[in-house]
């Protein structure tokens, strides 16, 4: 039941915030914060309860599982499950939710109630994505995030918002329709083969089908996830959407929506279609490397601060794709760490860009410069997050990217070498950004104010989280490792079988044939 609570809790909050906005704008901000705080606390309690710190760790694949009938005629159910991977992503969702509400405290002054309605709505749907274990239900939430995001960009966005909102919606919805097509296809293949028509994730795992069918179905999933992640060359919606969205929208897009794509690859595509996923792994890894370098290159060329940050996301998400398809324990764990640390660092950078825009009324890098002299606190944090983004050892991104590179090296030396170039590029664009914004001569009229206490606390919390993630990632890794090991075994059990293997053989293969305990992880992250 607690899982239903997690998904539904924010819904009444959204309506309350909307109503409260009609009375007093600030009230709806506080209501949103309250609901998100409760959600965060519940998630933290769940984490402590189940991570083995307090009491024995849960034995099964899922820490918690809940199911209620939805459309019994189709075999679809409200089926939710929580494991380590879901938990850290849900936690990221509610944390970034708090950050985006806090970051919009001053920036959003119009239609405040409706704004928070949309923010909470998108967060609830994202939580649903990370918990759904029924493919139709997953699609349900997958599409549900589009509307509030569309409205967030379209109503509260910047100059070119209509275009950006529309482009975002059409790209992701078109990808989503292919996801629906492939989902229904998988459902029918499974039903025709076994007589059991169901959308249930656990039952669809290991569906026996001809390699060619599996390949086409996989492509439908891949397209939807690749649009969201995004994978070059279908990333073009991202810079527009990120740049035009209000600060909260950018934070949610970069911090969470892209992660939904990554989650889709990890949770659904690779375990459901292990054979084809293995087949396209070289292509996917190549696209990942291309994304790393191309994103970095374009980031370097931007003059719009938010567009620049958006392109760095393309680059970082390249690492996630690389890690997901490299497929070994190092790479998968690294991908998850990148997901978390990128969510925090890029979220912080977008909040900073929003803060700068509120003060200077421009996002144009060439009109900035010398800001350190007038707002040293902002400068300090800016440098910190830029360093985090470029992968400074001791901060979260470094751990993740190093792990991905380690994992990739075992699979493909060439990919690892080229991906490493991404580090250099990241250093160049990050430091260049700091230079252009904060150093040099200040040309303004000197009336800009430095961070207020709200912003200071906001940045400090994110910086602290990044430091913890960088210095002591072990608890997070311990949390996600069993979940990733399950994904890995789903994927690798089938690798050893020919494509025509019996589904029963796959399903019945003992999970402990992969010794999860022996997956090596040293002490790289420890000081």
Nearer to other proteins, 111 or 377 (CB): 111
Nearer to other proteins, 168 or 330 (CB): 168
Instruction: Give the helix/strand (H/E) hosting 78.
Output: strand 76-82
3-class secondary structure, 200: strand
Tell me how far, at minimum, the Cβ of 314 lies from other proteins, in Å. Answer: 23
Give, in order, the Cα–Cα distances in Å from 100 to each of 95, 351, 492.
9, 8, 39
Instruction: Give the helix/strand (H/E) hosting 477.
Output: helix 474-496
Nearer to other proteins, 150 or 384 (CB): 150
Nearer to other proteins, 181 or 507 (CB): 181
Nearer to other proteins, 68 or 474 (CB): 68
What's the CA angle centered on 287, arms 285 and 293, to 5 degrees?
105
* DSSP helix, strand, coil percent of the chain (3-state; round to 5): 75, 5, 20
Q: Give CA–CA dist 316/40, Å, rounded.
A: 26
* Under 8 Å between Cβ of 93 and 145: no
Tell me how far, at minimum, the Cβ of 351 lies from other proteins, in Å. Answer: 24
Nearer to other proteins, 152 or 506 (CB): 152
Q: Is 516 exposed, middle or buried (0-12, 13-18, 19+ CB in 10 A)?
A: middle
What's the count of helices (H) and strands (E) in the chain, helices before strands? 24, 2
Tell me how far, at minimum, the Cβ of 183 lies from other proteins, in Å. Answer: 9
Tell me how far, at minimum, the Cβ of 219 lies from other proteins, in Å. Answer: 13
Nearer to other proteins, 136 or 425 (CB): 136
Nearer to other proteins, 159 or 452 (CB): 159
Tell me how far, at minimum, the Cβ of 173 lies from other proteins, in Å. Answer: 5
Tokens of 453: 């206490």
Alpha helices (H) in 104-246, listed in sequence order:
112-131, 135-144, 146-156, 161-194, 201-204, 211-228, 237-244
Give, in order, the Cα–Cα distances in Å from 430 to each of 106, 113, 169, 270.
27, 36, 30, 33
Tell me how far, at minimum, the Cβ of 67 lies from other proteins, in Å. Answer: 15
Strand partners, 18: none
Q: Give CA–CA dist 525/527, Å, rounded.
A: 7
CA-closest candidate to residue 125, choices 143, 107, 108? 143
Tell me how far, at minimum, the Cβ of 162 lies from other proteins, in Å. Answer: 6
Nearer to other proteins, 116 or 436 (CB): 116
Tell me how far, at minimum, the Cβ of 26 lies from other proteins, in Å. Answer: 20
Nearer to other proteins, 117 or 311 (CB): 117
Q: Give CA–CA dist 454/435, Å, rounded.
A: 25
Tell me how far, at minimum, the Cβ of 174 lies from other proteins, in Å. Answer: 4
Phi, psi for 325 (deg, rounded to 5): -90, -15
Tell me how far, at minimum, the Cβ of 261 lies from other proteins, in Å. Answer: 18
**Could you list the residues that contact other proteins (CB under 8 A)?**
69-74, 111, 114, 136, 139-141, 143-144, 146-147, 150-151, 154-155, 162, 165-166, 169-170, 173-174, 177-178, 180-181, 184-185, 187-188
* Under 8 Å between Cβ of 426 and 390: yes
CA-closest candidate to residue 43, choices 386, 479, 488? 479
Tell me how far, at minimum, the Cβ of 507 lies from other proteins, in Å. Answer: 24
Nearer to other proteins, 87 or 136 (CB): 136
Q: Give CA–CA dist 312/390, Å, rounded.
A: 9
CA-closest candidate to residue 165, choices 256, 110, 237, 259? 237
Nearer to other proteins, 169 or 265 (CB): 169
Tell me how far, at minimum, the Cβ of 256 lies from other proteins, in Å. Answer: 18
Instruction: Give the helix/strand (H/E) hosting 32.
Output: helix 25-50
CA-closest candidate to residue 400, choices 270, 525, 501? 525
């Amino acid at each position: 039941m607690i899982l239903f609570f997690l998904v539904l809790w924010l819904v009444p909050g959204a309506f309350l915030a909307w109503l409260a906005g009609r009375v007093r704008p600030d009230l709806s901000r506080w209501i949103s914060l309250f609901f998100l705080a409760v959600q965060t606390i519940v998630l933290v309690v769940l984490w402590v309860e189940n991570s083995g710190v307090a009491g024995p760790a849960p034995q099964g694949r899922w820490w918690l599982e809940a199911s209620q009938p939805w459309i019994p005629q189709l075999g679809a159910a409200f089926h939710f499950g929580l494991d380590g991977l879901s938990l850290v992503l849900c936690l990221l969702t509610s944390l970034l939710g708090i950050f985006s509400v806090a970051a919009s405290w001053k920036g959003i002054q119009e239609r405040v109630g409706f704004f928070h309605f949309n923010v909470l709505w998108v967060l609830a749907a994202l939580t649903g994505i990370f918990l759904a274990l029924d493919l139709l239900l997953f699609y349900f939430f997958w599409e549900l995030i589009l509307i509030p995001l569309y409205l967030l960009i379209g109503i509260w966005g910047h100059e070119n918002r209509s275009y950006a909102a529309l482009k975002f919606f059409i790209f992701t919805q078109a990808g989503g329709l292919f996801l629906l097509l492939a989902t229904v296809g998988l459902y029918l293949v499974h039903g025709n083969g076994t007589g059991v028509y169901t959308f249930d994730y656990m039952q669809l795992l290991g569906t026996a089908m001809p390699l060619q069918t599996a390949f086409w179905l996989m492509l439908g999933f891949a397209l939807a996830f690749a649009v969201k992640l995004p994978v070059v060359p279908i990333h073009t919606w991202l810079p527009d959407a990120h740049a035009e969205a209000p600060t909260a929208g950018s934070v949610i897009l970069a911090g969470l929506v892209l992660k939904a794509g990554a989650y889709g690859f990890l949770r659904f595509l690779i375990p459901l279609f292990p054979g084809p996923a293995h087949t396209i792994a070289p292509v996917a890894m190549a696209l990942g490397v291309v994304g790393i370098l191309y994103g970095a290159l374009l980031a370097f060329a931007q003059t719009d601060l938010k567009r620049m940050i958006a392109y760095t996301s393309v680059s970082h998400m390249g690492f996630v794709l690389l890690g997901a398809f490299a497929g070994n324990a190092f790479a998968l764990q690294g991908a998850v760490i990148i997901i978390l640390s990128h969510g925090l660092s890029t979220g912080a950078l977008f909040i900073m860009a929003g803060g700068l825009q509120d003060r200077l009324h421009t996002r144009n890098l060439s009109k900035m410069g010398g800001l350190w002299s007038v707002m040293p606190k902002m400068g300090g944090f800016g440098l910190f997050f830029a360093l985090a983004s470029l992968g400074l050892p001791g901060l979260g991104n470094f751990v993740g990217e190093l792990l991905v590179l380690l994992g990739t090296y075992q699979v493909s030396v060439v990919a690892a070498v080229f991906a490493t170039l991404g580090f250099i590029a990241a250093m160049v664009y990050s430091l260049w950004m700091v230079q252009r914004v904060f150093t040099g001569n200040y040309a303004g009229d000197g009336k800009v104010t430095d961070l207020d206490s709200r912003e200071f606390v906001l940045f400090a919390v994110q910086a602290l989280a990044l430091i913890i993630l960088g210095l002591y990632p072990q608890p997070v890794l311990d949390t996600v490792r069993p979940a990733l090991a399950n994904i890995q075994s789903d994927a690798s059990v089938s690798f050893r079988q020919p494509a025509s293997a019996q589904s029963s053989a796959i399903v019945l293969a003992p999970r402990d044939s992969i010794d999860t305990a022996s997956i090596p992880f040293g002490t790289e992250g420890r000081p």
